Amino acid sequence: MKRSTKRLLRHLALYVVLLAVVLALILSLDWAKVQETFFNADGLKHNWHDLVVTGVKNTVVYTVIAFAAGLVLAVVLALMKLSEVLVYRWVATAYIEFFRGLPALVTILGMAFGFPIATGWRPPGGVLGAGLVGLVVVAGAYMAETLRAGIQAVPKGQTEASRSLGMSSGKTMAFIVLPQAFRIIIPPLTNEMVLLIKDTSLLAFVGATVGSRELTNVARDMMNSGVSAGTATSLTMAAVLYLVITLPLTRLVAWLEKKQQRAR
Amino acid sequence: MTALSKEQPTSDVPAIEVSQLHKYYGDNEVLKGIDFRVDAGQVVCVIGPSGSGKSTLLRCVNRLEDPTSGRILVEGIDITDPETDLDAVRSRIGMVFQQFNLFPHMTVLKNLCLAQQKVLKRSRAEAVEVARLNLAKVGLAERENAYPAHLSGGQQQRVAIARALSMNPDMMLFDEPTSALDPELVGDVLAIMKDLATEGMTMMVVTHEMGFAREVGDKVVFMDGGVIVEEGTPAAVLGDPQNERTKSFLSKVL
């Protein structure tokens, strides 16, 4: 048998197996039940408004807040981690390793329910505000590592050129190193944002007022009450909405990475 | 009166005076007790095989490298003294690197203006004026809005020289300024350095360009294995070397 014929037969066999699996699934499922659970007609008609106006809006707002505040925290942590002062390096390393090692949910719950009680701190926005601080704490830890790598990826010659012009180490960091570091880490930072968008769903565990619920929380409430109560239709819709936000971003990351590789 | 006659320096304090300089990387001693001097207005070329310590010596002069021991005086100021304001001293020493090291996220003009504004506290208008003057000097007046990535290596190095000159330095350090350039671009950069020398700029040049050293240098220093093996006028060191190591090196590069 010729090699090309062999290859053709092998591909054919793979398609047959795939077809068989799909057929078995289709035949074994009760499609009316699947449709009722995930694609309830009333739900599909009436749920969009609250999901978008409340859920998506708050998800985006919380993501932006956590990203911006997390980035500021990350700059401080990254600079501490690269500091000449040993204690600063220790503190930053301990912080980063601690919060990257914990599930984000644990940090968020601890910040929402434990920290305010222990310290008497009254967070703006109540438990939800405190939970959001927890998200910032986690985001800062992850982005600090990214930023540190970015700073170290700026060629040493840049610092040397800047210092040889008489610029202090602070000015060198601010005007020469950080701007270039940020350029380098735009793709991974966009990735962090995608992760953060998904992690805002953890705030659903904290509890919120009707108007301050993010997307997952809104969808979960719709599973319990409303036109599609008792079905997972609102979850399907939330999934679609998440993808509408995250897919363009992940595509953007891929495009940015490709562009950066070409520039080298 | 020679063709390259220079303004005589008003003070007799040497521009650079290095004494008993030792530099270790770990256990590796790369500078083994260097005594070295550049007078104001002088052009000193440092030559030698790679690994001889010549770039390290040059980088010690503005403390990009920390000497392990020894003293380095720049215009009489001890830059190894922790009390010395290093940034102030550095702003008076222009440095040109082998790899140019232009700031890639800034236009040519911004590259030239940044330190003028942030270190010398010049106004933007003043900085731009100085920058344009120096860009014209290196023949790149029309490229002020270009980004470094859009310039050839030779153009980038000329911009780097203009950037250093925009700080109105008292002296210039060149660390193999033409080694990363395509051969056809070397001439432009050397021509600018020669003009600078003619204007009386104090220069320390680590180079492999023997022609430049012979023509422009007031003094040539040959280094090998972390020591200064031989120094003197270009005619003496390059034309009539006394030391075997110098002879052997020159026979390979000339």
ipTM of the prediction: 0.91
Establish if A206 belongs to a structural domain. Answer: yes
**Residue with more model confidence, B146 or A126:** B146
Q: How many structural domains does chain A have?
A: 1
Establish if A211 belongs to a structural domain. Answer: yes
Establish if A7 belongs to a structural domain. Answer: no
* Predicted TM-score of the model (pTM): 0.84
Percent of chain A predicted with pLDDT > 90: 75
> pLDDT tens, B146-193?
999 999 999 999 999 999 999 999 999 999 999 999 999 999 999 999
Residue A263 distance to chain B (closest CA, Å): 10
| Mean predicted lDDT score pLDDT of chain B | 93
Containing structural domain, residue A158: 38-263
Question: Domain of A185: which CATH number?
Answer: 1.10.3720.10
Establish if A15 belongs to a structural domain. Answer: no
Establish if A3 belongs to a structural domain. Answer: no
* Cα A98 to Cα A88: distance, rounded to the nearest angstrom: 15
Q: Which of A149-158, B8-17, B109-118 has the lowest mean pLDDT?
A: B8-17
Establish if A30 belongs to a structural domain. Answer: no
Verify whether the Cβ–Cβ distance B103 to A163 is below 8 Å: no
| Full 3-state SS string of A147-193 | HHHHHHHCCHHHHHHHHHCCCCHHHHHHHHHHHHHHHHCHHHHHHHH
Residues from B contacting A (CB-CB < 8 Å) are: 62, 64, 87-88, 90-95, 97, 99, 101-105, 114-115, 118-120, 149, 160, 163-164, 167
Q: Taking CB atoms and an 8 Å cutoff, what residues of chain A touch B163?
A: 165
Establish if A6 belongs to a structural domain. Answer: no
Establish if A23 belongs to a structural domain. Answer: no
Is the pLDDT confidence value at B77 over 90? yes
Q: Taking CB atoms and an 8 Å cutoff, what residues of chain A touch B87?
A: 163, 166-168
